[in-house]
């Protein structure tokens, strides 16, 4: 038997989480270094996965398959396609930066009680989330995927509710109440989504008799598994609802601004750049493959919802007074683009959507983490409390600008490529929707540039006049992310090569071909 590489990639952070949690209370710094070490080692394993994966080869590679709960027809089945590999790499890449950026976020504020170990808990939970996210990208068994899709809510919930942003307005008690409200809202939204999916998962079992994605997809393709149209549609809706909550898609998005606003900046990155990707990833992997006909049936409605997300998220971002909530609404807008790309059902659209997931992860991480550094210096999340920061802390302002420009998809930075692909892919099939979606970009320019203008330019406010510039640890977080943004902006080929074969197969699952270019069709 070959080395179970995919299992190792998920088990390593899980074991690391337990080890980190077990570090004695007094050795906080050791726990941090241990967590960082584990996350880097996971990155190495993810890199091995990336190297061992052959883009032109079988659809699912590095597969593992073991019997698990025979009675439920559940197998421990792992396998990755190009899309999964790209997202595993993204996850493994971001976690070390999340840990590094959150280095001091969980230091105990009061010394004394020796049994309460927030620092160990914080880093252990981050690694725990990483393990669960990675295994849900790897799972090709619907049940296995569901288990970790649900279970990751618990550590995420403790991260949001237990370790809030210290920069808040109002009293400590008020902040604690808001934080636990945000955590509960996050959990309830996602739990309800998950439970509705559970009903659909059970329904799928009743119809198909097992949970293997490959078996069911194959049986559906060759016609041996027939689903009544209404059954397929109900099951699709059950799955899609859960993923739309997670993604999040309008009108199920309202938990995200609360969660991202109240959580610390690194945890906010974890939510939007890592965990939410499981939702959009699962739309590609499960909704389209298992329920191709229903996916096509639902496409018009989903496209409209995606369009509303794009415009509505961007409009609300323009109106935000809180920096972190602004980034959250921007993310909602971006998730709209991702869903648009997926359900446009063209190869450019879906390649663009996958690429978008990766790029959005990196660009949001860069913007949000720099914003977090800024907020921790001033102790306020309100845009109005800043002004003229670029004169005091030029490096901070510069990196913030690059993160912002990436968010508005400036050509030359990575998100441009993906946004362009999504729009082209959408336009070739649905020109009107493509045109309306373009307004999202205009609004993106508005909210990022206004944010930059209000916080960084203008006269220096007295409260920010003594802000220190980025420290070495902070630079170590930001510089690699910006480098990745520039590299993928100029040379996106490695990722597109990885993703394209998988996208072609997904499209063939739904029996869709790319529309002919208009010029060619006219001939």
Footprint of another protein on this chain (CB under 8 A)?
67-72, 113, 115-117, 146-148, 150-151, 153-154, 157-158, 161-162, 173, 176, 179-180, 183-184, 187-188, 191-192, 195-196, 198-199, 202-203, 205-206
* Cβ-based nearer residue to another protein, 181 or 491: 181
The answer to whether the beta carbons of residues 407 and 330 sit under 8 Å apart is yes
Burial class (CB in 10 A: 0-12, 13-18, 19+), 189: buried
* Cβ-based nearer residue to another protein, 48 or 207: 207
* Cβ-based nearer residue to another protein, 201 or 371: 201
Q: Least distance from C-beta 127 to another protein, angstroms?
A: 16
* Cβ-based nearer residue to another protein, 130 or 474: 130
- DSSP assignment of 150-190 equals HHTHHHHHHHHHHSB-S--SS-HHHHHHHHHHHHHHHHHHH
The answer to whether the beta carbons of residues 343 and 306 sit under 8 Å apart is yes
Task: Give 230's contacts (C-beta < 8 A, 6+ positions apart).
Answer: none
Q: Write out the two tokens for 429.
A: 């099939």
Q: Least distance from C-beta 357 to another protein, angstroms?
A: 24
Q: Least distance from C-beta 142 to another protein, angstroms?
A: 12
Is the Cα torsion angle 421, 149, 231, 75 positive or negative in sign?
positive
Tell me the CA distances in angstroms from 2 to 67, 320, 439, one per residue in order: 17, 52, 50
* Cβ-based nearer residue to another protein, 192 or 424: 192
Q: Least distance from C-beta 379 to another protein, angstroms?
A: 21
Q: Least distance from C-beta 71 to another protein, angstroms?
A: 4
* Cβ-based nearer residue to another protein, 132 or 485: 132
The answer to whether the beta carbons of residues 195 and 153 sit under 8 Å apart is no
Cα–Cα distance for residue pair 37/16, rounded to 1 Å:
9
* Cβ-based nearer residue to another protein, 157 or 373: 157
Q: Closest Cα to residue 351, out of 410, 421, 430?
A: 421
Q: Least distance from C-beta 517 to another protein, angstroms?
A: 46
* Cβ-based nearer residue to another protein, 118 or 458: 118
- Give the alpha-carbon dihedral of 397, 402, 404, 408, to 10 degrees: 150
Q: Least distance from C-beta 229 to another protein, angstroms?
A: 17
Q: Least distance from C-beta 72 to another protein, angstroms?
A: 7
């Amino acid at each position: 038997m070959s080395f179970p590489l995919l299992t190792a990639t998920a088990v390593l952070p899980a074991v690391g989480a337990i080890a980190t949690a077990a570090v004695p209370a007094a050795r906080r710094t050791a726990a941090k270094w241990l967590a960082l070490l584990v996350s880097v080692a996971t990155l190495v394993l993810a890199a091995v996965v990336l190297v061992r994966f052959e883009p032109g080869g079988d659809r699912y590679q590095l597969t593992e398959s073991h019997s698990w709960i025979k009675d439920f027809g559940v197998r421990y089945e792992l396998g990755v396609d190009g899309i999964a590999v790209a997202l595993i790499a993204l996850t493994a890449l971001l976690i070390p930066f999340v840990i590094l950026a959150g280095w001091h976020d969980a230091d105990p504020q009061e010394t004394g009680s020796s049994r309460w170990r927030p620092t160990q808990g914080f880093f252990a939970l981050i690694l725990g989330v990483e393990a669960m996210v990675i295994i849900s990208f790897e799972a090709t068994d619907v049940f296995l995927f569901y288990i970790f899709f649900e279970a990751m809510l618990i550590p995420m919930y403790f991260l949001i509710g237990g370790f809030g942003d210290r920069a808040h307005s109002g009293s400590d008690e008020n902040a604690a109440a808001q934080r636990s409200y945000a955590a509960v809202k996050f959990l309830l939204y996602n739990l309800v989504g998950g439970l509705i999916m559970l009903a659909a998962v059970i329904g799928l079992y009743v119809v198909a008799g097992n949970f293997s994605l490959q078996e069911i997809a194959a049986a559906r393709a060759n016609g041996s598994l027939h689903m009544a149209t209404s059954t397929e549609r109900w099951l699709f809706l059950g799955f899609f609802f859960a993923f739309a909550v997670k993604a999040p898609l309008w009108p199920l998005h309202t938990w995200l601004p609360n969660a991202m606003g109240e959580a610390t900046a690194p945890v906010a990155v974890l939510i939007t750049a890592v965990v939410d990707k499981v939702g959009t990833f699962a739309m590609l992997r499960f909704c389209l493959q298992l329920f191709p006909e229903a996916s096509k049936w639902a496409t018009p409605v989903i496209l409209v919802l995606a369009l509303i997300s794009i415009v509505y998220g961007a409009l609300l971002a323009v109106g935000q007074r809180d920096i972190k909530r602004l980034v959250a609404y921007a993310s909602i807008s971006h998730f709209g683009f991702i869903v648009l790309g997926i359900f446009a059902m063209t190869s450019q659209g879906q390649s663009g959507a996958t690429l978008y997931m990766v790029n959005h992860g990196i660009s949001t991480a860069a913007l949000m983490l720099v914003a977090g550094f800024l907020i921790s210096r001033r102790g306020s999340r309100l845009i109005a409390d800043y002004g003229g920061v670029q004169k005091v802390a030029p490096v901070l302002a510069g990196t913030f600008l690059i993160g912002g420009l990436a968010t508005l998809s400036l050509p030359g930075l990575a998100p441009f490529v993906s946004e362009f692909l999504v729009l082209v892919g959408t336009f070739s099939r649905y020109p009107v929707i493509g045109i309306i979606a373009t307004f999202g970009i205009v609004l993106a320019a508005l909210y990022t540039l206004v944010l930059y203008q209000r916080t960084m330019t203008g006269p220096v406010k007295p409260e920010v006049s003594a802000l220190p510039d980025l420290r070495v640890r902070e630079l170590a977080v930001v510089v690699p992310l910006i480098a990745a943004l520039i590299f993928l902006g100029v040379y996106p080929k490695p990722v597109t090569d990885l993703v394209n074969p998988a996208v072609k197969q997904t499209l063939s699952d739904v029996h869709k071909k790319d529309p002919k270019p208009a010029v060619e069709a006219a001939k």
